[in-house]
Amino acid sequence: MNNLIEVLITIPFTDSQVANLRNISPRLNITVAQARKPDDIPLDTWNRTEVLYTDRVLPPPAHVPNLNWIQFHSAGIDFAVDSPLLKMPGIVATTLSGAAAVQVAEYAVMMMLTLGHRLLDLLALQSHSEWPRDRWERFLPQELSGSTVGLVGYGSLGRQIARVLQPFGATVLATKRDVMHPQDMDYTVDGLGDPQGDYFHRLYPIQALRSMLKECDFIVDTLPLTPETRSRIDAEMLEVVKPTAFLIDLSRGGIVNQAALISALQEHRLAGAALDVFTEEPLPPASPLWSMPNVIITPHLSGISPHYDERAVALFGENLNRYLVGLPLYNRFDSHKGY
């Protein structure tokens, strides 16, 4: 009886990274075939594949009769939720939730410090060789120490942000779908995140988001994009936010209602924002966000890291070990939740 597990990887991992995966078990027969579309992979390869590691290359169900498990190369898979493969009975999909947490948390804290300490204005002064007389009043900072930071979502990203914020002395508030279970049951790396739920001061159900937002000096959106979370931060939510507060959006475009955000910024009902994700990407040149002096725009790069692939391989390796012995896989996609 052939007990080999046929694994297909469509991502260009290094030879050493693939070797690390092959060393997990002699039962794994790993094929690496870099691809941008399903037709780049021979039909006989698809036919025998049992485990697929991919970014966005998803074949028709008829091409993969032996497929059991898809491991995606990203944490967010909103682009794939309507794929026929994910609707097939018996096929499990898992995400890379947690693989990008380190760099995203650093981005979030960088933006809090940049906005709170008026770095954009300071750089503008430098470009004009200007030494302002009113600098003491004009550049009074919103320090992280003593501030209240609200994390909209407490998954892998929110948990790592909460950990990184600990030395700053900020009060951390967070929302979570299930507040009765603050522990993280998905993939975690030793020394990262908040597996036991120790780093927040108060946890709110998502239905109480409005109450949390009233308290915040900094708001960080880390929610996954689902039908339930789309426009979760809308005009009604933004109207209760302090006019001195700052918003950092680094999850998925569409969770923050962009029109409502623009109005809040233009009307000075929000002090500023750092935006890495947008409803339409690339952000159109005509968007008023580009020219707002209190807005930082980055082109959806908060998750970029030179270490991403090695973290991805480590997570995939953990899941392969679990697959081999029949344990539940980490970061399993739940079609009812949408993530």
Question: Do the Cβ atoms of 319 and 71 come closer than 8 Å?
Answer: yes
Average pLDDT (158-168) is 98
Clarify whether residues 165 and 197 are in a common domain: yes
pLDDT, tens digit (0-9, with 9 covering 90-100), for 282-314 = 999 999 999 999 999 999 999 999 999 999 999
Clarify whether residues 172 and 33 are in a common domain: no
Clarify whether residues 214 and 183 are in a common domain: yes
Clarify whether residues 186 and 244 are in a common domain: yes
Kindly state whether residue 127 falls inside one of the protein's structural domains: yes
HEC string for the chain = CCCCEEEEECCCCCHHHHHHHHCCCCCEEEEECCCCCHHHCCHHHHHHCCEEEECCCCCCHHHCCCCCEEEECCCCCHHHCCCHHHHCCCCEEECCCCCCHHHHHHHHHHHHHHHHCCHHHHHHHHHCCCCCCCHHHHCCCCCCCCCEEEEECCCHHHHHHHHHHHHHCCEEEEEECCCCCCCCCCCCCCCCCCCCCCCCCEEEEHHHHHHHHCCCCEEEECCCCCCCCCCCECHHHHCCCCCCCEEEECCCCCCECHHHHHHHHHCCCCCEEEECCCCCCCCCCCCHHHHCCCEEECCCCCCCCCCHHHHHHHHHHHHHHHHHHCCCCCCECCCCCCC
- The pLDDT-based confidence of 2 (bands split at 50, 70, 90) is low
Clarify whether residues 116 and 91 are in a common domain: no
Q: How far is CA 92 from CA 3, 54, 58, 323, in A?
A: 20, 13, 14, 11
Kindly state whether residue 339 falls inside one of the protein's structural domains: no
Clarify whether residues 181 and 48 are in a common domain: no
Tokens of 275: 């935006």
Looking at the predicted structure, is the pLDDT value of residue 257 above 60?
Answer: yes
What pLDDT shows up at residue 338?
A: 87
pLDDT over 70 for what percent of the chain?
99
Clarify whether residues 81 and 91 are in a common domain: yes
CA torsion, points 287, 289, 293, 297, in degrees to nearest 10? -120
Clarify whether residues 260 and 311 are in a common domain: no
What pLDDT shows up at residue 336?
A: 85
Clarify whether residues 149 and 24 are in a common domain: no
Q: How far is CA 138 from the centre of its chain?
A: 34
Average pLDDT (66-77) is 96
Clarify whether residues 41 and 109 are in a common domain: no
Kindly state whether residue 121 falls inside one of the protein's structural domains: yes
What pLDDT shows up at residue 254?
A: 96
Average pLDDT (254-274) is 98
Backbone angles phi, psi at 7, to 5 degrees: -115, 125
Kindly state whether residue 330 falls inside one of the protein's structural domains: no
Kindly state whether residue 332 falls inside one of the protein's structural domains: no
Kindly state whether residue 335 falls inside one of the protein's structural domains: no
Question: Do the Cβ atoms of 216 and 150 come closer than 8 Å?
Answer: yes
Clarify whether residues 92 and 123 are in a common domain: no
- The pLDDT-based confidence of 24 (bands split at 50, 70, 90) is very high
Kindly state whether residue 19 falls inside one of the protein's structural domains: yes
Clarify whether residues 279 and 133 are in a common domain: yes
Kindly state whether residue 292 falls inside one of the protein's structural domains: yes
Tokens of 186: 């998905």
Whole-number average pLDDT of the chain: 96
Report the number of distinct structural domains present in the chain: 2
Residue 258 falls in which region: left (phi positive, over 0), alpha (psi -120 to 50) or beta: alpha
Tell me the CATH number at 38.
Answer: 3.40.50.720
Domain of residue 151, residue span: 101-297
CA distance 167 to 186: 25
- The pLDDT-based confidence of 215 (bands split at 50, 70, 90) is very high
Q: Which residues of 23-54 are buried (b: 16+ CB within 10 A; e: fewer)?
A: ebeeebebebeebeebeebeeebbeebbbbbb
Tokens of 34: 């870099």
CA distance 339 to 332: 8
CA distance 275 to 287: 13
Angle, CA of 306, 307 and 311, to the nearest 5°: 150
Looking at the predicted structure, is the pLDDT value of residue 1 above 80?
Answer: no
Question: Do the Cβ atoms of 134 and 121 come closer than 8 Å?
Answer: no
Average pLDDT (220-229) is 95
What pLDDT shows up at residue 201?
A: 98
